[in-house]
Amino acid sequence: MTILVVVAVILVVIVGSQLLKIAELRAASKGELIYEITEKEGKLHGLTMFAGFFVFMGFFFWQMWAWYGLKLPVSASTHGVDTDFLANLTYVIITPVFILTHAVLLYFCFKYAYSSTRKALFFSHSNKLELIWTTVPSLALTVLILYGLTSWNSIMTPIPEETDHVLIEVTGQQFTWTARYAGEDKKLGRSHVTLIEGVNATGVDAADENSKDDKLVKGEFHLPVNVPVQFVFRSLDAIHGAFMPHFRSQMNCVPGLKTQWNMVPTITTEEMKKITGNPDFNYVLMCNKICGAAHYNMQMDIIVESQEDYDKWLAEQKTFIE
Amino acid sequence: MSTHHHHAKDFLFTYVFSQDHKMISKQFLVTGFLMGFLGLVMSTLFRLQLGWPGESFEIVELLMGSWAEDGVMAPDKYLALVTMHGTIMVFFLLTAGLSGTFSNLLIPLQVGARDMASGFLNMLSYWFFFISCMLMLASLFVEGGAASAGWTIYPPLSALPQAIPGSGTGMTLWLVSMSVFIVSSLLGSLNYIVTIFNLRTKGMTFTRLPLTIWAFLLTAILGVLSFPVLLAAALLLVFDRSFGTSFYLSDIYIGGQVLDHSGGSPILFEHLFWFLGHPEVYIVLLPALGITSEIISTMSRKPIFGYRAMIGSMMAIAFLSFIVWGHHMFLTGMNPFLGSVFTFTTLLIAIPSAVKVFNYLTTLWKGNIVFTPATLFSVGLVSTFISGGVTGLILGNSALDIAVHDTYFVVGHFHIVMGLSAIFGMFAGVYHWFPKLFGRMMNNKLGTLHFWISIICAYGVFFPMHFLGFSGVPRRYYTNSEFPMFDDMLDINTLISMFAIGAFIGQLFFFFNFVYSAFRGPKAPQNPWKGNSLEWTSPVEHFHGNWYGEIPHVYRWPYDYSKVNAQGEYVYGEDFIPQTTPLGEDEKDGGH
Amino acid sequence: MTTITMENISYQEDIRRKTSKPLIWIGIVSIIMFFGGLTSAVIVSQGGGEFLTIDMPFAFTISTVVILLSSVIFHFGLISIKKGNYAVAKISIIATLILGLLFIATQYMGWVNLYENGVYAVGAESTQESSFIYLLTALHIAHLVGGLISLIIVLVKTIKERYTLDNMLGMQVSITYWHFLGALWIYLFFFLKFIIA
């Protein structure tokens, strides 16, 4: 088999070389140089380029048509709605730019393909034109930057202490997630890697008053709808990325650091099942920073439900001290 | 001429330890392409896994051996392939292969010098590069496999062999190889800068330099300023890995054990890495932009539009590239205010980039475009630069980055804007300067075929990736089958993989054309494209020194194409005026 | 066809004259970026949290005096050659070489002193700051070794009286690098004193 492939490759190379040599000799016999592009060939190139524009745009719109439905459903968090709007605004600006510049580029290729009867225009600069295409992008950018920074700052502002919220610490380690609820006192107890022992897999400090009523869960964690959630992220080994795509939320988990994230979930899992028409739908927390061999399978389910269901579920969970 | 021929010695000093910039250029080109071919094979292999996850392929088993039992690669070896693909493509093909080839070939020829400032350092630069290649390849064969922490080698993953097998000997070799690579790159850059500043021929003022030279100059400056910082980052990582220091490590529990590192931070590594990493993007891209500027102007028989604006925008891009590194780290928990600053500086890059695109378009407008394969690839570059550039506005905006950070959207974006643009620039350069490199011409028909297969398959691979990103598919996943929400995305992945195989086959046409033409192609005339710049005034045959007799003097800028007088006739009867032609009495320089 | 001028010695001399100094200056720029990267790494990592105070060993102060003195003497050697006084030049270059070695010795004394005070380079008891002190000084010495090698070359050439008023490029390059090493040490000294210690 291998020998057959090698022989075939050698044959192809030999035949290819001979064809090239023949083509060259034929051109030479007609008094032409094989590497010179004739006017006819040039026109054909220009035409292909222009046709390429329609093929390219066809491909672009076909993808939009075929795959638009596969994108993430409507954002299930308040800030996500805001950033989705900004994203759409950006697309409204960049899609026409993308299409028009390609139209111009490929039309020029067609229109100005080489002709021996025409002279190219000696046109080397124009301050006016340069000024236009420095200013116009600048203006568009100003809008995007201002909107983006406003959103960014409001997203990154931590929830004030006095606001009613859920406090959760999420710890990543190869290749699993653990969530810890702050419990009744709304305070997370101290934790450190040196305290990891047996079932205490994330190193919670049992001596700390605040940890006594903390609740650790694995596999899935629940969130009440319409209540702000303050996340604290930790990692025990490599850098992990806590990615919750349906909430447009993402933050890295860095060993030795505590990172933060906050969001307000607005759609319960049940409601989202209806919106997506998928009875098996589940929110998910996935790892999005390369962290080792099983990086592709580091997940935890998220259940968003009403306050009552949430309270009921939380009451069933054991506290750390138990 | 000496009548005594010491053949072995002649061979050694002509082809191996040559100090002639043209030979060193060819050495860089061939080594870079060989490395690039390996990177291409790797990507095709892991595309097989992504397109048909878990399926057994004989070819995978044949090439990967024990890394792929029963023809299915192991998850950590998938990551090794991804890491090596990224490293090889970014550093070995698109930094050393692209910049090393064309800076070496064109700087002395286009500024009018007999060779680089120091031929010896130049030779060292290549041989360091060669050693670095060998070390990187050796890492594929060591126990535990090659480095597998992604090309960005973030610690702690890259620092702890317990975290992934590739972080053992493979990672050590990666770090040693990169350190040698950095030395090579610095030696090269030193030479490029000094040659451009000090060895220009008479009359070659800075405003008469071709844009290629400006691009290479800025690239070299970026290299000198940013590569030492990567060296520092790598050095600290070596100490953490081998000597128990805690620069990047803190509070780690792994493999059932608490490590005694404390006080360090992986974020420090990210800062140091991306301080190089972002300029590196432009180290890769600027030479390609320079090459296309030159080709688009020459082949549309028009002066480049806005010569000074082109230089200005390249300078702006080069400058901005040093103050935007934080946009790779929006979600590392860094100060949100810093995030805002980096958003602002990042989006500013769109302005000089837009200027470049519009200038390219205006250069083509009312031109007389000769479609060589080089022209095709240059137009391809303008297209990928647009397609990949516009999505930068999404990723550079910190608020939007949250949703698409590290998803396939990013993979699509940077492969198009940086990978494709740079490699298209490199292909354009090879087709255009092949006569200068090898004294022979490449075959146009095969070149055209290569272009169309490349651009169709490249867009077929990378455009759908944006849609994967919209669905939240993270990058660097061995398979998406663990998440039911990604089940519908398998078809897209299969389609992408088919295009990837197509792209691989397309490159074979290029390699065949390249090797055939280098040995058997038709002999090249001295100035096949009717170009103005100085390299076309040097004879076709290669010898150390570039010009017989005196180095020609320069009297005008290199873009006097289709210049007509008041009667509408070409000023010198031809549609091009070489830089060596003195200015006529009523002529002004610089396109006025 | 005229001869190929590449093999012409005077041409190569001309290239050397034009490019030696820029080469060393750009090389220096890259070394500055290297140490700039490392020292900013110290600042970035200190933003994070607690750090202990470390007493600077007195030996480092002596190092500073030694390297400054060596620069002055080396420069004096250059002036002597310009005046054609080779005897004085030889002595000054030998003195520079000795002072360079003395610098390394004082650095070593500094390390011993640090180590005795419980400041460790590596291992469980090291901290970022302590590791950085050793690393930065050691890397400076690594660059200094390059300077010493160039000094030896300069010394040999001086003994052979190769330098003339219009041909002392090698020495000028060496002296530029040496002054830079001095300046680099002073930067590191104050950086260590005020940022780490």
DSSP code per residue over B496-541: HHHHHHHHHHHHHHHHHHHHHHHHHSPBPPS-TT---SGGGGS-SS
pLDDT at B1 over 60: no
Q: Which alpha helices (DSSP H) does B96-168 contain, by range?
A: 101-111, 119-138
Tell me how many degrees the CA angle B111-B116-B118 measures, rounded to the nearest 5.
150
Q: Do B190 and C4 touch (CB under 8 A)?
A: no
Which region among B15-24, B566-575, C124-133 has the lowest average model confidence (pLDDT)?
C124-133
What is the residue type of B581? T
Determine contact: A17 vs chain B, CB below 8 A: yes
Please tell me the predicted confidence (pLDDT) of residue C7.
Answer: 56
Phi and psi at residue A197, in whole multiples of 5°?
-160, 125
Size of interface A-B (CB pairs under 8 A): 370
The band of B5, judged by pLDDT with boundaries at 50, 70 and 90, is low
Which region among A112-126, B348-362, C11-25, C37-51 has the lowest average model confidence (pLDDT)?
C37-51
Q: What is the mean pLDDT of residues B91-107?
A: 96
Q: Do B393 and A118 touch (CB under 8 A)?
A: no
Which A-chain residues 277-316 have CB contacts (< 8 A) with chain B?
A: 280-282, 284, 286-297, 299
Nearest alpha carbon to residue A300 among A160, A210, A178, A153: A178
Q: How far apart are CA C197 and CA C192, in angstroms?
A: 6
Q: List CB contacts of B368: < 8 A, sequence separation 6 or more.
A: A112, A114, A115, A118, A119, A120, B300, B301, B302, B562, B575
Please tell me the predicted confidence (pLDDT) of residue C54.
Answer: 72
Which residue in chain C is spatially nearest to B244 when comparing CA positions?
A: C123
Please tell me the predicted confidence (pLDDT) of residue C1.
Answer: 36
pLDDT at C14 over 50: yes
Q: How far apart are CA B16 and CA A81, in angstroms?
A: 61
Q: Do C22 and B197 touch (CB under 8 A)?
A: yes
Please give, rounded to a whole number of angstroms, the shortest distance from the CA of A45 to a CA of chain B: 7
How does strand A215-218 pair with strand A220-224? unpaired
Please give, rounded to a whole number of angstroms, the shortest distance from the CA of C21 to a CA of chain B: 9
End-to-end, the C-alpha distance of chain C in Å comes to: 69
The closest CB to that of B225, out of C4, C7, C33, belongs to: C33
Three-class SS of B402-444: HHHCCEHHHHHHHHHHHHHHHHHHHHHHHHHHHHHHHCECCCH
Q: Do B232 and C41 touch (CB under 8 A)?
A: yes
pLDDT digits (tens, 9 = 90+) for C123-175: 777 778 888 899 999 999 999 999 999 999 999 998 888 887 777 888 999 99
Q: List CB contacts of B432: < 8 A, sequence separation 6 or more.
A: B291, B294, B295, B298, B372, B374, B529
Q: How far apart are CA B230 and CA B504, in angstroms?
A: 32
Q: How far apart are CA B536 and CA A149, in angstroms?
A: 51
The band of C56, judged by pLDDT with boundaries at 50, 70 and 90, is confident
Q: How far apart are CA B437 and CA C124, in angstroms?
A: 56
Sign of the dihedral defined by the CA atoms of residues C59, C65, C70, C71, in that order: positive
Q: How far apart are CA B98 and CA B428, in angstroms?
A: 11
Token representation of residue C156: 């040999």
| Exposure of C119 in the CB half-sphere (CA atoms within 13 A) | 23
Please give, rounded to a whole number of angstroms, the shortest distance from the CA of A81 to a CA of chain B: 11
**CB < 8 Å to B244, chain C:** 122-124, 126
Q: How far apart are CA A22 and CA A9, in angstroms?
A: 20
The mean pLDDT of chain A is 92
Show which subunits contact C, needing at least 3 CB pairs below 8 angstroms: B
Enumerate the β-bridge partners of residue A243.
A250, A286
What is the residue type of B113? A
Please give, rounded to a whole number of angstroms, the shortest distance from the CA of B341 to a CA of chain A: 9
Token representation of residue A61: 């719109």
C121 vs B292: which has the higher pLDDT: B292
Which residue in chain A is spatially nearest to B382 when comparing CA positions?
A: A105
Determine contact: A5 vs chain B, CB below 8 A: no
Size of interface B-C (CB pairs under 8 A): 125
Residue with the two structure tokens 């190193």: A203
Please give, rounded to a whole number of angstroms, the shortest distance from the CA of B348 to a CA of chain C: 25
The closest CB to that of C33, out of B197, B229, B264, belongs to: B229
Please give, rounded to a whole number of angstroms, the shortest distance from the CA of B433 to a CA of chain C: 23
Q: Which of B253, B340, B404 to mutate to test the interface with A (most CBs of A within 10 A)?
A: B253
Please tell me the predicted confidence (pLDDT) of residue A235.
Answer: 94
Token representation of residue B409: 């959207």
Length of chain C counted residue by residue: 197
Please tell me the predicted confidence (pLDDT) of residue C120.
Answer: 82
The closest CB to that of A120, out of B253, B262, B562, belongs to: B562
> Taking the CB of residue B334, how many other CB atoms lie within 10 A of it?
17
Please tell me the predicted confidence (pLDDT) of residue B223.
Answer: 95
Nearest alpha carbon to residue B121 among B195, B193, B213, B184: B184
pLDDT at C3 over 80: no
The closest CB to that of B224, out of C30, C41, C51, belongs to: C30
Determine contact: A40 vs chain B, CB below 8 A: no
Give the CA radius of gyration of chain B.
24
Please tell me the predicted confidence (pLDDT) of residue A173.
Answer: 92
The DSSP secondary-structure symbol of B115 reads S
The band of B496, judged by pLDDT with boundaries at 50, 70 and 90, is very high
Determine contact: A238 vs chain B, CB below 8 A: yes
Token representation of residue B236: 């600290």
Q: Find out whether B481 and B54 touch, Cβ atoms under 8 Å.
A: yes
Please tell me the predicted confidence (pLDDT) of residue B244.
Answer: 85
Q: Tell me, rounded to whole angstroms, the distance of Cα A194 from its chain centroid.
A: 35
What does the longest C-alpha to C-alpha distance in chain A come to? 96
The closest CB to that of B271, out of C35, C44, C127, belongs to: C44
Angstrom distances, CA of residue B152 to CA of A219, A289, B149, B244, B274: 30, 11, 7, 21, 9
pLDDT digits (tens, 9 = 90+) for C57-74: 899 999 999 999 999 999
Which residue in chain B is spatially nearest to A16 when comparing CA positions?
A: B512
The closest CB to that of B243, out of C29, C44, C122, belongs to: C122
Please tell me the predicted confidence (pLDDT) of residue A102.
Answer: 97
Please tell me the predicted confidence (pLDDT) of residue B3.
Answer: 42
Q: How far apart are CA C93 and CA C100, in angstroms?
A: 10
Helix axis angle, C86-116 to C58-82, nearest 10°: 170
**CB < 8 Å to B252, chain A:** 193, 236-237, 255-256
What does the longest C-alpha to C-alpha distance in chain B come to? 86
Please give, rounded to a whole number of angstroms, the shortest distance from the CA of B235 to a CA of chain C: 10
The mean pLDDT of chain B is 93
Enumerate the β-bridge partners of residue A259.
A233
The closest CB to that of B400, out of A59, A90, A156, belongs to: A90
Q: Do A236 and B474 touch (CB under 8 A)?
A: no
The band of C6, judged by pLDDT with boundaries at 50, 70 and 90, is low
Determine contact: B252 vs chain A, CB below 8 A: yes
Show which subunits contact B, needing at least 3 CB pairs below 8 angstroms: A, C
Q: Tell me, rounded to whole angstroms, the distance of Cα B374 from its chain centroid.
A: 17
Which residue in chain A is spatially nearest to B393 when comparing CA positions?
A: A90
Please give, rounded to a whole number of angstroms, the shortest distance from the CA of C74 to a CA of chain B: 26
For residue B333, give the 3-state DSSP assignment.
coil
ipTM confidence score:
0.94
> Does an H or E element contain B217, and which?
helix B211-243
The band of A161, judged by pLDDT with boundaries at 50, 70 and 90, is confident
Residue with the two structure tokens 């103050």: B323
Q: Do B247 and C44 touch (CB under 8 A)?
A: no
Q: How far apart are CA B492 and CA B485, in angstroms?
A: 14
Please give, rounded to a whole number of angstroms, the shortest distance from the CA of B550 to a CA of chain C: 8
Please tell me the predicted confidence (pLDDT) of residue B92.
Answer: 97
Q: How far apart are CA B564 and CA C129, in angstroms?
A: 68
Enumerate the β-bridge partners of residue A218.
A178
Token representation of residue A4: 């057959």
Q: How far apart are CA C68 and CA C89, in angstroms?
A: 18
Q: Do A121 and B367 touch (CB under 8 A)?
A: yes
pLDDT at A147 over 90: yes
Q: Do B198 and C1 touch (CB under 8 A)?
A: no
Three-class SS of chain A: CHHHHHHHHHHHHHHHHHHHHHHHHHHHHCCCCCCCCCHHHHHHHHHHHHHHHHHHHHHHHHHHHHHHHHCCCCCCEHHHHHHHHHHHHHHHHHHHHHHHHHHHHHHHHHHCECCCCCCCCCCCCCHHHHHHHHHHHHHHHHHHHHHHHHHHHHHHCCCCCCCCCEEEEEEEECCEEEEEECCCCCCCCCECHHHCECCECCCECCCCHHHCCCEEEECEEEEECCCCEEEEEEECCCCEEEEEHHHCEEEEECCCCCEEEEECECCCHHHHHHHHCCCCCCEEEEECCCCCCCHHHCEEEEEEECHHHHHHHHHHCCCCCC
Q: Do B379 and A105 touch (CB under 8 A)?
A: yes
Q: Do B264 and C128 touch (CB under 8 A)?
A: yes
Q: What is the mean pLDDT of residues C88-113?
A: 94
Which residue in chain A is spatially nearest to B563 when comparing CA positions?
A: A122
Q: Do C19 and B193 touch (CB under 8 A)?
A: no
Please tell me the predicted confidence (pLDDT) of residue C165.
Answer: 76
pLDDT at A85 over 90: yes
pLDDT digits (tens, 9 = 90+) for B286-331: 999 999 999 999 999 999 999 999 999 999 999 999 999 999 999 9
For residue B570, give the 3-state DSSP assignment.
strand
Nearest alpha carbon to residue A280 among B518, B167, B485: B485
Please tell me the predicted confidence (pLDDT) of residue C51.
Answer: 53
Q: Find out whether C5 and B104 touch, Cβ atoms under 8 Å.
A: no
pLDDT at B203 over 50: yes
Nearest alpha carbon to residue A320 among A162, A169, A164, A175: A169
Q: How far apart are CA B185 and CA B191, in angstroms?
A: 10
Three-class SS of B340-364: HHHHHHHHHCHHHHHHHHHHHHHHH
Q: Do C128 and B246 touch (CB under 8 A)?
A: yes
| Exposure of B572 in the CB half-sphere (CA atoms within 13 A) | 15
**CB < 8 Å to C142, chain B:** none
Please tell me the predicted confidence (pLDDT) of residue A131.
Answer: 93
Q: List CB contacts of A72: < 8 A, sequence separation 6 or more.
A: A245, A246, B403, B470, B471, B472
pLDDT at C119 over 60: yes
Angstrom distances, CA of residue A210 to CA of A180, A185, A201, A207: 12, 7, 18, 9
Q: Find out whether B468 and B493 touch, Cβ atoms under 8 Å.
A: yes
**CB < 8 Å to A203, chain B:** 253
Q: Do B340 and A149 touch (CB under 8 A)?
A: yes
Q: What is the mean pLDDT of residues A74-95?
A: 95
Residue with the two structure tokens 């005077």: C10
Please tell me the predicted confidence (pLDDT) of residue A211.
Answer: 86
Which B-chain residues 543-562 have CB contacts (< 8 A) with chain A?
A: 559, 561-562
Torsion of CA B149, B153, B157, B159, to 10 degrees: 120
